[in-house]
Structure 1
Amino acid sequence: MKKIILFVALVSVSFVNAQAFLGKNDNKFQVGANFQDGGTGINLSYDLGLGENISVGFSTSYVLGLDDALKNNAIDDLNADFDNRFDLRARFNANLGNVINIDDNFDVYPGLSLGLKNFGGHLGARYFFSDGFGVYTELNTPFAKYKSGTLTAAEELHNQFTVNLGAVFNL
């Protein structure tokens, strides 16, 4: 019985000591779903800690499915080929989990991104259940689009407000 109690205590401690952002050389990989007006897709991102509260990385999204309403209403010009469905962004995050000090397992990170389609910003949150696994969500919006004027429906895919939800892993 003592061995079982010791084992449960050790396992519990490993879950309690998970930290959302460790600072310099911390590596995060995220994979999730991308939701936006007109389509849904997949999002991948990677962040590398440069300092106590700063990280840089990249994010990429690919729109897999287009909504039927989008296809039917606007879309003589929706030649949503690979270049319209794909976006790649360099990103900068300010990891504020230890500043706001809600929980060691929780991190909030506002940031900026410079992509193939626009310059934008994001607000994300991560929660870790263990040292290696957690969940994340991000809200993304463009600040400046590279093409001025009216965008086609295909060009609008990565130039709008998006939401990402998924899993995050410590590497």
Structure 2
Amino acid sequence: MKRIIIITCMLTAYLVNGQAFSGKGDQKFQLGANFQSHATGLNVSYDYGLGENISIGVSSSYALGVSGDLQDGVKDPSGNTVVEKAGFDDRFDLKARFNANIGNVINIDENFDLYPGLNFSLKNFGGHLGARYFFTTGFGLYTEAQFPIAKYKDNLTPAQELNNQFSVNLGAVFNL
């Protein structure tokens, strides 16, 4: 019983040694899944700390699994295209992002970071709200909700709605 308690204490001390955001010069790499209406895909992002609570970065998403209509396109009986097939430009998005890292302001846990932010993408101007939790100094989990504030085009086709709608990312985060 003593051994189990000692091992548990040692593992607990090891796992709570992470730090969510350390300020200027802090670097984070996130790799995860992207979930949105009619598609699932990959999300990759990199953030660089400019100050105690500010970071900038870049994020990219690619929709891998799209619904059948968007994968093959749809034509009516007369041969007119009703739903366009989702091409590479519809599936891919690249964003420049700005984060306000407020984990140390709300002071829930030193391993937790909450970061609302804005992003300028190839598809829209939008916002995001994310949270990260670090289990060690180098590894943690993140989740992020992204939403468009202003779309660059009106009357979007269903294929153009990919990466231009509310989406959720979930994955791993690494301290660099």
Question: TM-score, structure 1 length as denominator?
Answer: 0.89
1:50-61 to structure 2, matched below 5 A, reads 50-61=50-61
**Paired residue for 1:111?**
117
> CA-to-partner distance for each residue in 1:118-157, whole Å, 9 max, x for gaps?
000000000111111100000000001111x210011110
SS class of match (2:105): helix
Q: Is the 8 A contact 1:55 1:93 kept in 2?
A: yes
SS class of match (2:82): coil
Of the structure 1 ranges 96-105 and 78-87, higher mean CA displacement relative to structure 2 is found in 78-87
| Matched-pair identity in % | 64
Q: How far off is 1:17 after superposition?
A: 2.5
Larger Rg: 2
SS class of match (2:160): helix
Distance in 2 between residues matched to 1:37 and 1:11, nearest whole Å: 40
Q: How far off is 1:67 after superposition?
A: 1.8
Distance in 2 between residues matched to 1:8 and 1:66, nearest whole Å: 44
Q: Is the 8 A contact 2:128 2:147 kept in 1?
A: yes
SS class of match (1:156): coil
Question: TM-score, structure 2 length as denominator?
Answer: 0.87
Structure 1 ranges of 4+ moved more than 4 A: 5-12, 69-75
Amino acid at match of 1:156: E
C-alpha RMSD of the superposition: 2.4
Distance in 2 between residues matched to 1:158 and 1:17, nearest whole Å: 36
Match of 1:166 among 140, 151, 171: 171
> CA-to-partner distance for each residue in 1:51-72, whole Å, 9 max, x for gaps?
0000000000000011236668
Q: How many residues align?
A: 169
**Paired residue for 1:93?**
99
1:138 aligns with 2:144: yes
Amino acid at match of 2:160: E
- Where does structure 1 lack aligned partners over 5 or more consecutive residues? none
- Where does structure 2 lack aligned partners over 5 or more consecutive residues? 76-80
Distance in 2 between residues matched to 1:34 and 1:20, nearest whole Å: 22
Q: Is the 8 A contact 1:14 1:131 kept in 2?
A: no
